[in-house]
Structure 1
Amino acid sequence: MMITENAELHRAQRAFRGVLDAFAHPGTVCTIERAADSPVRPAALDSALEAVVRLFVDQAVTFSVVDAEPDATAAYLTGETHAMRFPVREADFVVVPARADAQLAAEAVLEACRGTLVAPEKGATVLMGCARLSAPEEAAAGGEPALHVVEVRGPGVADVNRFAVDRVEWARARAERRDEFPCGVEIVLVDLEGNLVAVPRSSQVTLSGDASALGATEAADRVAAASEPCLAGEVR
């Protein structure tokens, strides 16, 4: 039992260092060790995303799961972390499984709490699963699903950092929010293999060769209220 507990502790420590490295170098692909196999883990929650969620979510914070069928994942995370499940707009952390479709992923980013000028730290962190996340060179190599190159600029970036990812609706939704720093949301992308990229609220994000793709999305019309400042735990 002690050996198992020590192994899990060391796994979490390595994952934590990986996430710290990702936030220190926005837009750079880092790697974390995936969570151990579990027979009770819901199918929607892959082991890499669970490893990231466990680093952030505990009984002191709130979370939300955005998925077509979120209840099983939410119940599992509540049981494992003792955190309380809240609506997206009120949650400290928003978990988006890799299987969630583009519309749900966009709405998760659009609805996430941005904090306020007085309390910007109340802005949510979106933990988003994806199928493929890699260095930008792999985008030209093809493969399925197709990859899009994302460019990140701002604090922690000397000039521009680039990475390739299969889903970009989060970037379009992030641009649609039009948050003004220090308000905004943090976004952590993690694929099924444990490759991870952090996009802090202070970063500027564009799609390589297609800046216009960061325009409005259909989801924005359905969640217009997301543009209003909110505090985690605030009841609307």
Structure 2
Amino acid sequence: MEAIVEKVHYTQETFRKLMDAMARPGKIVEIQPFSYHQRAFALRYMLGIGATLLDQEVSFHLCGTEGALAKDIQLLTHSKTKPLEQSDYVLVTGGVVFDVAGCKRGNFHYPDENATIIYQVNAIGEQSLGGGIANGLNSVRLILTGPGVKGESRVFLDGFPPALVDQWQESNQQFPLGTDWIFVDLIGNVCCIPRSTKLQWEVL
């Protein structure tokens, strides 16, 4: 019973932080690792976001090499796996390049029927993370404007493939259609960028 209560407190606190970050694009918040499962430490943050947002009413798709993560999420949340183009949540690990254009964008009658992409990167920062290449993937600087951003906000993502940014921008051109993004790094930093946000970018 105590473990259940602690898990509820964890998901409530994590949800509050995710909503704060989503309302303020570019703001970096810190979440705790999900400690209720014996999973590799680096994946506990991704697992914690999944445990917080997913339930039996939604579906998800996993892009990456961590196949066991899909089973963990199913057991924790009772959500269902579906093909990429049908999934409410898309979880991406290991800097994988995937088909952003294939994700759900909603429609003009139901724009909220879009996909949220949860993407694990190496590091997230408000300042440059070294301007080099980590594990063969470039660092990207995003310059964000729009609702929830005072002036502009800058976010550096280490381990996010630049090839995905053009697809991301194209997917979100017809607001309110598009995809929402949640970035999480290997130490629990989280940054959210909703589809209402305009972005410019450059490779570092």
For normalisation by structure 1, the TM-score amounts to 0.76
Q: How does 1:96-175 map to 2 (within 5 A)?
A: 96-97=92-93, 99-101=94-96, 103-104=97-98, 107=99, 109-136=100-127, 138-140=128-130, 144=134, 147-166=139-158, 167-169=160-162, 170-175=164-169
Unaligned runs of 5+ in 2: none
Paired residue for 1:194? 188
Which of 55, 62, 67 is 1:65 aligned to? 62
Q: How does 1:66-85 map to 2 (within 5 A)?
A: 66-68=63-65, 70=67, 72-85=68-81
Percent identity over the alignment? 25
RMSD: 2.4
Name whichever structure is richer in strand by fraction: 2
Q: Distance in 1 between matches of 2:131 and 2:148?
A: 28
Q: Distance in 2 between matches of 1:68 and 1:10?
A: 30
Paired residue for 2:10? 11
Paired residue for 1:51? 48
* Counterpart contact for 2:124–2:157, Cα < 8 Å: yes
Paired residue for 1:25? 24
* Counterpart contact for 1:154–1:204, Cα < 8 Å: yes
Give the deviation of 1:75 after TM superposition: 2.1
Relative to structure 1, the CA distance from residue 21 to residue 45 in structure 2 (aligned partners, 3 Å threshold; closer, same or farther) is same
Unaligned runs of 5+ in 1: 214-236
* Counterpart contact for 1:154–1:202, Cα < 8 Å: yes
Q: Distance in 2 between matches of 1:178 and 1:8?
A: 34
Q: Distance in 1 between matches of 2:30 and 2:165?
A: 21
Three-state SS of the structure 1 residue aligned to 2:6 is helix
Q: Aligned pair count?
A: 200
Three-state SS of the structure 1 residue aligned to 2:129 is helix
* Counterpart contact for 1:22–1:29, Cα < 8 Å: yes
* Counterpart contact for 1:68–1:100, Cα < 8 Å: no
Letter in 2 for 1:6: V
Three-state SS of the structure 1 residue aligned to 2:154 is strand
Paired residue for 1:176? 170
Q: Distance in 2 between matches of 1:14 and 1:87?
A: 30
Deviations 1:140-182 (A, max 9, x none): 5768466332111111111101111111434232023353011
Three-state SS of the structure 1 residue aligned to 2:199 is strand
Q: Distance in 2 between matches of 1:88 and 1:12?
A: 25
Larger Rg: 1 or 2?
1
Give the deviation of 1:195 after TM superposition: 0.5
